[in-house]
Structure 1
Amino acid sequence: MQNLDWIVLSITLLFIVFYGAWKTKGSKNVEEYIKGGNETKWWTIGLSVMATQASAITFLSTPGQAFHSGMGFVQFYFGLPIAMVIICLVFIPIYHKLQVYTAYEYLESRFDLKTRTLAAILFLIQRGLAAGITIFAPAIILSAVLGWDLIILNIIIGVLVIVYTVSGGTKAVSVTQKQQMGIIFSGMFIAFYLILDYLPDGITFTKALEIAGASDKMKVLDFSWDLNNRYTVWTGILGGTFLMLSYFGTDQSQVQRYLSGKSVKESQLGLIFNGLLKVPMQFFILLVGVMVFVFYQFNASPLNFNPKAEEAVVNSAYAQEYKVLEDKHREIESKKKTLILAGLTDKSKAQLQDLNEQDKLLKTQAKTIIDKTEQKVETNDKDYVFIHFILNNLPKGLIGLLLAVILSAAMSSTASELNALASTTAIDLYKRNQKKEKSEEHYVKMSKWFTLGWGVLAILVACVANLFDNLIQLVNIIGSIFYGNVLGIFLLAFFIKAVKSNAVFIGAIITQLIIIVVWYLDILPYLWLNALGCALVMGISTILQALDTSTTIEE
């Protein structure tokens, strides 16, 4: 990185922090601090909801996912528009009617305190872990490629977020997320333009798509029912709908974004805005990754994009064995370039696919060699593809901007998570169990302390975390283990009035244990855990209620 990159990066991040803290200081009551005074407009809600979901993991892992596996990951989001409509029609009117601060308050009015507390604790567990990963994801990757100290990076990202989130609460999160989304969109569009500009003369965008298609990267839709295939239309629509319903309808980090709306209509418009824009946005980010793949058909690429992995094997006894694979990799790259520049025909497309399969085999063999080294390094390099392109190909200044994109995304998601964790702790656990009346100032103060506490815990989780396959999958796996259960509790509360509190409480505990076992034994793809958890808690609770002959009709 050059001095100009450091200047761009530093100014961008410091502006976000100080602007957010200055613009929103001075909250005097809980409504201002947690619900932003109910002043948020629909476009701010929409951008805030998008920024909360679009963490740094999105902008690091998604292009890498497309680079290796193509556009199929976009199917994961097919259930999102459906979920947005359901939440707008069912969840939002109920939350606003009851004037709740958190989603879990409603569960006490419908069931009882223990059910509300259980749902809140399930949220705190999964979101607390996710907050640490949201910090850890960009930190470990930037540490590997830039040589920065991992622990210091975790602390810097965490502290920057804590400063303005503690200061301004929900309003600070919403205000800063508008700036962050502006930076993110600008950076990604510039990167996309430059990738196309770097392609050889005569390789237009249309031809780039043809090259990607010939390499099997443009297959968007998969209608198969193969449970071993993680991303299909059906997993996206069925499993994805349940995940998105759970995430946007019951996860306080998202619910808090639209609870701050000026009215029911503003909140609904914000979610519809998100529903319309989110799938195209993810499609575009994946397309960036596909274009990076096309770029590397004409330019040299490493056998493994993780520099720490390559460094480990080069300094080991397996260096010569690895070099043989590198030489074969370069030979295949040269053949592919010659083949593509000569013009793609049916015959050459088949040859190109064969070369891609040979290269894929080399990469698998390379990972096996890296695993033999004494150093424990991550061999899965999906998360390093895009950052490698940024650092090695973008001009001075723009490197700093794209790094600001990654860190801004990390900060926006982490801020929402800390804000929601603190709100849930303050309202659902602390305030609800206070026997004596406390002042508004007291609860604002405690919310700030809880924000600080969760921020410190998130940094600690980040400092002890380990990289796990593909980071964007890890966050979704954690969510899928818990979300279906919580969604089922809410659906029981909304629609099945005959089921009472004890049956729901016991059913939720049994369901959570079953889901953890199913996930641990890898019985189903993780997206199906959402539908399974939802169905189990509703089914078990209904059965338990039917068996409980001592329960009266009215509790």
Structure 2
Amino acid sequence: MQTLDLIVFVLYMGGITLFGVSFYSQDKSASAFTLGNSNFPAWVVTMSIFATFVSSISFLGLPGNAYQSNWNSFVFSLSIPVASVMAVQFFVPIYRKLNSPSAYSYLETKFGLWARVYVSACYLLTQLMRIGTILYLLALPVNALFGWDILIIIAITGLVVMIYSLLGGIQAVMWTDAIQGVVLIGGALICLIYIAFRMPEGPGQIIDIAQQHNKFSLGSFGTSPSESTFWVVLIYGIFINLQNYGIDQNYVQRYMASRSDAEAKRSALWGGMLYVPVSLLFFMIGTSLFAYYQVFPDTLPVDLQDPAKGDRVFPFFIVDVLPAGLTGLLIASIFAAGMSTISTSINSSSTVLLVDYFQRFSTKYSSEKQSMRVLYLTSFVISVLGIGIAFAMINVKSALDAWWKLASVFSGGMLGLFLLGAFVEKVNRRGTILGVALGVILILWMSLSPLLWTSGPMQAYASPFHAYQSIVFGTMILFITGFLVTLVARRR
């Protein structure tokens, strides 16, 4: 069994790598490396946006989350249509008009250089954590299947993605995204169908068991600010997805890589909408696994019966239950999800470092040769740092929760700054700086105080709000402060 799965897995990894590297001859300029000369078909851009959103965080984290608890996290997906429509109406036209490879050059036109540097630095930190989290989750099923050391798996996977991202540029990233998007959807569908028909009483038994254990619950509809209620997750999802579509370099770069404004808008809309049913598929897999191991409890090892290890149940099922060949295909699907996101993060991060730092601050003329050297070097450094962070993720309890909390911390008011620039004309820059400072302080307090002040006299000053809400309050205080200071300055 392992031999056939290994063949399928190696063929997929080798094929994707060779396909990505084949674009090397077409990436001899910075424009080709970062935007592919803006000549991608609409369907490729759509699938690339979708594949960027879906990663091993989704492929393993969402089933693991549904297995551990319920469908509360699916509420996050329900917020995506709001962000997609906003992207089409407001974000895409702004960036297409600006015509820059970087999402953050826009902020300099509104607030000055400091805003561009601040937000691009926050973006780079977020991408490093994202690469690390995904590399760790990719290592889990391979470790379960072949018994290889997790550290070695992380290192090899990171190097493979780095090779085709570095050599093939954005063309390798987006064309492999399109392929990997199809592979991961197909793999997830096959897995769900297989689980459903393995149940002794058929697919309906999954629904019955799930309803008995309240697994389809979307969470409490109460108003407690300290719990992940339906409303807390929904509001968090709206804000974080507005940030994704509005100011995340990963998405903005794809808007700019489209052939026309109309195609960019269509891709932004459908690339986001496609994630909703696919995330539903992932949650259904997690719920089906719960039902399966309720019927066959003796087949689940004792060390995986701890609910905190829900992220590891799906990889175990893939290895222990799926037939030869299909196991290798599912592992390939998981890698398809993760590799597409990692390659995107590497390419976009190197683009930001080139445009927002090297070209912006270089006192000498930047030739194409120099620019390509910067892109190659930064792609390598970002990859190595991501691998190091993945090593540190090994002992994390829940990769999905860890990623969401870290995303809120590193957001640092990025969305509030963009919204202030987009919807308030001639913003007062001092008020904006004050808003950023207050927003960052609030985010740090909401995210860190519950972890640091768990006992003693400082416990009373810990944040009573759920960590997911830090981006919400941080964005609001930044926007309101900047708006009010601007209003007062105008009246004076």
Both proteins in one fold, TM over 0.5: yes
Please state whether the residue corresponding to 2:413 is helix, strand or coil: helix
Match of 2:101 in 1: 101
Q: Which residue among 227, 230, 233 is the counterpart of 2:228? A: 230
Counterpart residue number, 2:277: 280
Tell me: CA distance 1:466–1:508, structure 2 relative to 1, closer, same or farther (3 Å): farther
Residue 529 of structure 1: aligned partner:
470
Amino acid in structure 2 at the alignment position of 1:532: F
User: Partners in 1 of 2:403 and 2:19 — Cα distance?
Assistant: 29
Q: Is the Cα contact below 8 Å between 1:4 and 1:400 reproduced in 2?
A: yes
What's the counterpart of residue 74 of structure 1? 74
Aligned: 1:403 with 2:344: no
| Residue 375 of structure 2, aligned match among 443, 447, 453 | 447
Residue 268 (1) aligns with residue 276 (2): no
- Cross-structure match for 2:438: 510
In structure 1, how many angstroms separate the alpha carbons of the residues matched to 2:170 and 2:183? Answer: 20
Counterpart position of 1:157: 157
Q: Which residue type is aligned with residue 3 of structure 1?
A: T
How far did 1:486 drift? Answer: 0.3
2:191 corresponding residue in structure 1: 191
| Contact persistence 1:488–1:534 (CA under 8 A) | yes
| Unaligned residue ranges in structure 1 (runs of 5+) | 308-362, 368-378
Q: 1:93 to 1:510 in 2, by over 3 A?
A: same
Report how far residue 300 of structure 1 moved. Answer: 2.6
For structure 2, the 5+ residue unaligned runs are: 451-462
1:335 maps to which residue? none
Q: CA deviation at 1:249?
A: 1.4
1:381-460 equivalences in 2 (<5 Å): 381-460=309-388
Q: Which residue of 2 aligns with 1:208?
A: 206
Instruction: Go from structure 1 to structure 2 and tell me whether the alpha carbon gap of 1:138 and 1:413 turns closer, same or farther (over 3 Å shift).
Output: same
Q: How many residues align?
A: 479
After TM superposition, the structure 1 = structure 2 runs for residues 458-473 of structure 1, keeping only pairs within 5 Å, are 458-473=386-401
Q: Which residue pairs with 1:110 in the alignment?
A: 110
Q: CA deviation at 1:304?
A: 6.2
> CA shift at 1:139, angstroms?
1.9
Instruction: Indicate the residue corresponding to 1:40 in structure 2.
Output: 40
Q: Once the two structures are superposed, what CA deviation does each residue of 1:272-327 show, in whole Å capped at 9, x if it has no partner?
A: 112322111111110111111221222134676656xxxxxxxxxxxxxxxxxxxx
Change over 3 Å in CA distance of 1:31–1:231 after alignment to 2 = farther
- The residue type equivalent to 1:528 in the other structure is Q
C-alpha distance in structure 2 between counterparts of 1:306 and 1:74, whole Å: 27
1:325 corresponds in structure 2 to: none
Task: After TM superposition, give the deviation of residue 222 of structure 1 in Å.
Answer: 4.4
Opposite residue 121 of structure 1, the aligned amino acid is: A
Alignment-mate amino acid for residue 383 of structure 2:
G
Contact kept, 8 Å, 2:223 with 2:229, in 1: the verdict is: no
- 1:304-323 alignment runs, 5 A limit: 306=303
TM norm structure 1 = 0.82
Deviation at 1:503, TM superposition (A): 2.8
Partner of 2:248: 251
Residue 540 (structure 1) aligns with: 481
What amino acid is the match of 1:128? L
Query: Are the counterparts in 1 of residues 24 and 167 from structure 2 also a CA contact under 8 Å?
Result: yes
Are the aligned partners of 1:485 and 1:508 in contact in 2 as well (CA < 8 Å)?
Answer: yes
Cα displacement (A) at 1:543: 4.6
Q: Secondary structure at the match of 1:223?
A: coil
The letter of the residue matching 1:150 is I
Question: In structure 2, how many angstroms separate the alpha carbons of the residues matched to 1:42 and 1:526?
Answer: 37
Provide the TM-score with structure 2 as the length reference. Answer: 0.92
CA-to-partner distance for each residue in 1:234-253, whole Å, 9 max, x for gaps?
23432211110012211112
Mapped to 1, the partners of 2:396 and 2:219 lie a distance apart of: 26
- C-alpha displacement of 1:9: 0.2
* Cα distance in 2, alignment partners of residues 498 and 101 from structure 1: 24
When Rg is computed on C-alpha atoms for both structures, the one with the higher figure is 1
1:316-352 CA-to-partner distances (Å, cap 9, x unmatched) read xxxxxxxxxxxxxxxxxxxxxxxxxxxxxxxxxxxxx
Q: 2:23 touches 2:167 (CA, 8 Å); kept in 1? A: no
Contact 1:56/1:137 (8 A) holds in 2: yes
Q: 1:141 to 1:19 in 2, by over 3 A?
A: closer
Q: Given that residues 5 and 325 in structure 2 are in contact (C-alpha distance below 8 angstroms), is that contact kept between their aligned partners in structure 1? A: yes
Q: Distance in 2 between matches of 1:103 and 1:25?
A: 27
Offset at residue 441 of structure 1 (A): 3.0
Q: Does the CA contact (< 8 Å) of 2:412 and 2:439 recur in 1?
A: no
Within the alignment, does 1:16 sit opposite 2:13 as a pair? Answer: no
